[in-house]
Homo-oligomer: A and B are copies of this chain.
Amino acid sequence: MNFLEERILKDGIVKEGNVLKVDSFLNHQMDINLFKQMGEEFKRRFADKNINKIMTIEASGIGIACVVASYFDVPVVFAKKSQSINIDGDVYVAEVESFTHKNKNQVIVSKRFLGPEDHVLIIDDFLANGCALQGLISIVAQAGGTVEGIGIAVEKGFQSGGRMIRNLGYQLESLAIVESMDAATGNVKFRDQSEVE
Contact = CB atoms under 8 A, between A and B. Distances in A.
Interface string A65-108: 11101100111111010001111000000000000111000000
Q: How many copies does the complex hold?
A: 2
A28 interface: yes
A103 B85 CA distance: 12
A87 B100 CA distance: 10
A24 B59 contact: no
B80 A28 contact: yes
With a 10 A CB-CB cut-off, give which of A35, A63, A67, A77 has the most chain B CB atoms. A63
Nearest to A76: B30
A93 to B, nearest CB: 14
A167 interface: no
Interface of A: 19, 21, 23-25, 28-33, 35-36, 58-60, 62-67, 69-70, 73-78, 80, 84-87, 100-102, 109-110, 112-113
Q: Nearest 9 A-B pairs (CB), nearest first?
A: A58-B59, A63-B66, A29-B113, A59-B59, A62-B62, A30-B76, A32-B69, A29-B77, A62-B63
Given A58-B62, A85-B102, 16 more contacts: A23-B110, A28-B77, A29-B75, A29-B113, A30-B69, A30-B75, A30-B76, A30-B77, A32-B70, A58-B60, A59-B62, A62-B63, A63-B78, A66-B67, A67-B70, A86-B100
